[in-house]
Amino acid sequence: MSNVGIVIVSHSANVASGTAEMVRQMVGDEVPLAYCGGDPDGGLGTSVEAIMQAIDAAWSDSGIAILVDLGGAETNSEMAIEMQPSERRGKIVICNAPIVEGAVMAATEASGGAPLEDVKRTAEELSPA
């Protein structure tokens, strides 16, 4: 069974790529990883299409944990999940966690072969109660 995949969605292309770089340096290639950030014109924003491509790039039958930075990224991630084939929808979760720390912790948990629920829980333990 493959490890849970991680998708990073930020309004900033630099934040998304920098977070992915930190994840790679911490966990190597043990975890399927993809990221997207910025709008198609190079400004701040997110794109449902780019999120769907990132989900495809990081796809794992064990599931996908998405880390987002701001509300618009979460809304567009929810739309991207809704547009997935029905057999995939239940295997994708959005983690309510800080994007950088959450991505690193989620990937660390996933690299050990943890199931999707554990990956999400580990990331969300970082959020204030």
Positions marked catalytic: 11
CA distances from 88 to 55, 60, 76 (A): 10, 10, 17
Backbone angles phi, psi at 121, to 5 degrees: -60, -45
Beta-sheet strand order (sheet of 92-95): 33-37, 5-10, 64-68, 92-95
Return d(Cα 102, Cα 19) in angstroms, integer.
10
